[in-house]
Structure 1
Amino acid sequence: MAILPIIEVPDPRLKIVSTPVEAVDDEVRQLVADMFDTMYDAPGIGLAAIQVAVPKRVLVIDLQEEEDAEGKPVRNPHAFINPEIVEVSDERRCYQEGCLSIPDQFAEVERPDRCRARWLDLDGKPQEAWFDGLMATCLQHEMDHLNGVLFIDHLSRLKREMVLKKLAKARKAAA
């Protein structure tokens, strides 16, 4: 397992539409394992393969919402291969989103509150389920990455420019 470098805006690869995985094999399972290591190290709750410069339709999510007796997050990893959203609810909700490819920047994004997705698991078996709340938001956010869309693309031009300006300022201060 390895921690992979996460690409950040304005890297043009983040705008690539990822290609489907042809077969769920050991190479794909290794990519998923490395993506989990990378996401946990960052730390984050979701990661799409394109964020580690692999333009494949693979994403991982672990909301880590529960804690064990020692106060450490309990891992509950989910891997999605060739995911697709097949239905969304009419109800919408706003969530303060961030992204490992746009470090330390956050903005309110409105998305459907629930979504039904279809994907392949690590054994290559088809799965389908409804998701709501943070899981639905995170899945939609990561699915956007597979289509070359960043959360800031859902913002008004003014808000998007403000986020990018704050990121540039933070990078300059860190340099």
Structure 2
Amino acid sequence: MAVRPIKIMGDPVLHSPAAPVDEVTDDIRVLVADMFETMDAAPGVGLAAPQVGVALRIFVYSHLDDDEHPWRGVVINPELWVSPSVPGEPDPDLESEGCLSFPGERFPLRRAERAMLTGTDLEGEHVWVQVEGWRARILQHEFDHLDGIIYIDRVDDADWKTAQKIARKRGWGRPGCSWMPGEDDLEA
């Protein structure tokens, strides 16, 4: 297992739909182990394969809720269904997100309150996850990465403009930008 560099906004792998996984091979198993290690080192609550430069439809997730019940897994070739989003402005205190591919920043974003996800795991077994609240937000955020969408692509116009200014100032928005969890001094 190894920590991998995380791609930053502007790298083409983050802005294109990822390909389905045809077969779970030893290379896929190593990738997933590396993704868990990278996510934990960042630290993050989710990580999609495109974020480590691999354009495949895989993501990992991990979250401890208030009762400290672990929620951790991998989904390969996921399909996602969400409840309708409530219209209106997102609450900046309750609905802000960060992203390891736009590190150190958080912006409010309205997401669906409930999500259901299906796919397979590393053993080829069917995965079915139905969650709400923060966990639903995690699934939606990571699923977006598989479709070439970064959360800042979804924020309101004012926050999008702020994000673009931050990206320019930091030299992001171009191919090849990445950071290494545990080595670089960045927070998401």
| Band of TM-score, shorter chain | 0.7 to 0.9
Alignment of 1:37-116 (within 5 A): 37-65=37-65, 76-85=71-80, 87-90=81-84, 92=86, 94=90, 95-116=95-116
The separation in 1 between residues aligned to 2:62 and 2:86, in whole angstroms, is 22
Name the structure 2 match of 1:132. Answer: 132
Q: Would the aligned equivalents of 2:83 and 2:112 in 1 still touch at CA under 8 Å?
A: yes
The separation in 2 between residues aligned to 1:56 and 1:109, in whole angstroms, is 25
Q: Would the aligned equivalents of 1:19 and 1:57 in 2 still touch at CA under 8 Å?
A: yes
Moved more, 109-118 or 23-32: 23-32
The separation in 2 between residues aligned to 1:3 and 1:49, in whole angstroms, is 13
- The one-letter amino acid of 1:151's match is Y
- Cα deviation for residue 155 of structure 1 reads 1.4
More helix, by proportion: 1
Gap regions ≥5 residues in structure 1: 69-73
Note closer, same or farther for the CA distance 1:111–1:67 as it changes in structure 2 (3 Å cut). Answer: closer
Name the structure 2 match of 1:71. Answer: none
Alignment RMSD: 2.3
Q: Return the TM-score normalized by structure 1.
A: 0.86
The separation in 2 between residues aligned to 1:122 and 1:92, in whole angstroms, is 35
Q: Would the aligned equivalents of 1:4 and 1:52 in 2 still touch at CA under 8 Å?
A: yes
Percent identity between the aligned chains?
38
Q: Return the TM-score normalized by structure 2.
A: 0.80
Q: Would the aligned equivalents of 2:2 and 2:38 in 1 still touch at CA under 8 Å?
A: yes
